[in-house]
Amino acid sequence: MKINTAKFVISNSDVDKCPQDKLPEYAFIGRSNVGKSSLINMMTNNKKLAKTSSTPGKTQLINHFIINDEWYLVDLPGYGYARTSKKTKKVFQKFITDYFVKRSQLVCAFVLVDSRHAPQKIDLEFMEWLGTNSIPFAIIFTKTDKLKKGEWDRNFKVYSSKMMETWAEMPEYFTTSSLHKTGAEEVLEYIDTINESLKTQS
């Protein structure tokens, strides 16, 4: 898929205030610092669309971007960030779970996972939660440029065997590097294929 236009639409913390048209949408979520903003900016070929971790006061909101006037890319807040205040310690703010439960336009959630790390409890639990709530998801392993091929092969084996403890098969997955600009096309093709199949269904 070629991205012709990528425009910011709205940010909020209330799922009822998200765009009301019925365009298909795809959400991106993961632990803070996983490389989500860099991935979104790479995918949309726009260095500044999503705010990166280095942006001061990066807001923790549901951000809707419209792509090619056809579908929404949704940038969700990073989770699992260690904070001291008890009030903000909850890893999933209610508005995020609300978003997943209520947003019928959501076609697929992309769960971003740092390719360098061993499976993290918070990611595994989140994917189980998505499964329990019948929300389709795919995994995007980020920052693959930081690993040698052999290291990634080993990490992937560990990750997939961990997933197989819970799932009948390994979910759809992608590998990306925002530094080397790889993997975005595959994700966009996946989205395109789903969008096309939705059109023929309607």
| 195 sits in which H/E element | helix 184-201
Q: Which stretch binds ligand GDP (CB under 6 A): 9-17, 36-44, 87-95, 155-163?
A: 36-44
Q: Which of 52, 68, 120, 175 binds ligand GDP (CB under 6 A)?
A: 52
Number of residues that bind ligand GDP (CB under 6 A): 17
Kindly state the DSSP code that residue 57 receives in the 8-state scheme.
T
Quick check: 37 binds ligand GDP (CB under 6 A)?
yes
Q: Which residues contact 191 (CB under 8 A, 6 or more apart)?
A: 1, 26, 71, 108
Q: Tell me the one-letter amino acid at 6.
A: A
Q: Which of 14, 125, 145, 151 binds ligand GDP (CB under 6 A)?
A: 145
Quick check: 63 binds ligand GDP (CB under 6 A)?
no
In the complex, residue closest to ligand GDP by CB: 35
Q: Which of 116, 117, 146, 162 binds ligand GDP (CB under 6 A)?
A: 146
Q: Which stretch binds ligand GDP (CB under 6 A): 10-18, 32-40, 101-109, 116-124?
A: 32-40
Q: What are phi and psi of 190, to 5 degrees?
A: -60, -45
Kindly state the DSSP code that residue 188 receives in the 8-state scheme.
H
Q: Which of 1, 6, 18, 38 binds ligand GDP (CB under 6 A)?
A: 38
Nearer to ligand GDP, 72 or 77 (CB): 77
User: Which whole-number Å values give the CA distances from 81 to 95, 103, 133, in the listed order?
Assistant: 16, 24, 23
Strand ranges in the chain using DSSP code E only, listed in sequence order: 6-12, 25-30, 62-67, 71-75, 106-114, 137-142, 173-175
Smallest separation (angstroms) from ligand GDP to the CB of 202: 33
Q: What are phi and psi of 189, to 5 degrees?
A: -65, -40
Contact indicator for 158, 118 with CB cutoff of 8 Å: yes
Smallest separation (angstroms) from ligand GDP to the CB of 40: 8
Q: Which of 25, 43, 78, 159 binds ligand GDP (CB under 6 A)?
A: 78
Q: Which of 33, 120, 160, 175 binds ligand GDP (CB under 6 A)?
A: 33
Q: Which of 44, 63, 155, 177 binds ligand GDP (CB under 6 A)?
A: 177
Checking DSSP bridges between strand 106-114 and strand 137-142, what pairing results, if any?
Answer: parallel
- Applying CB under 6 A, the residues found at the interface with ligand GDP are 32-38, 52-53, 78, 142-143, 145-146, 177-179
